[in-house]
């Protein structure tokens, strides 16, 4: 039986999608650079972003009740204590991007998105 009580601190890594980035990517031409929409939050580390993630071990998909959602609004999470690999939009392994890296790389794209909305600053304690 699945334990329905969700504790953020039970997990080393939380993964979810960044809806503001998905909305920004919608309608882009195929050749245009798309923002990495997978948000990876590791306990004790800065939030990273990638286009794809492969989890090397067990993980769970958890849907949180609206009253329990993360501070960024995320309700559907992948949680894991397993190692993982991040990939860019070409399928190449990458260390991922931090929000400030994205701001420097794509300043025109992110300048209109408020930091709290775009960066999904949900802490992992």
pLDDT tens figures, 100-112: 677 666 655 555 5
pTM: 0.77
> Tens of pLDDT along 49-76?
999 999 999 999 999 888 888 888 888 9
Domains in the chain: boundaries: 10-119
Residue 86 CB-half CA count within 13 A: 20
Q: 3-class SS at 101? A: helix
């Amino acid at each position: 039986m699945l334990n329905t009580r969700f504790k953020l601190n039970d997990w080393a890594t939380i993964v979810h999608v960044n809806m503001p980035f998905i909305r920004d990517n919608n309608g882009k031409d195929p050749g245009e650079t798309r923002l990495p929409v997978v948000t990876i939050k590791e306990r004790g580390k800065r939030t990273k972003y990638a286009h794809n993630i492969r989890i090397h071990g067990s993980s769970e998909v958890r849907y949180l009740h609206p009253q329990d959602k993360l501070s960024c609004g995320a309700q559907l999470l992948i949680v894991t204590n397993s190692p993982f690999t991040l990939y860019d939009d070409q399928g190449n392994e990458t260390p991922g991007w931090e929000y400030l890296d994205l701001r420097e790389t794509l300043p025109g794209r992110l300048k209109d998105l408020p930091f709290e909305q775009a960066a999904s600053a949900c802490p992992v304690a």
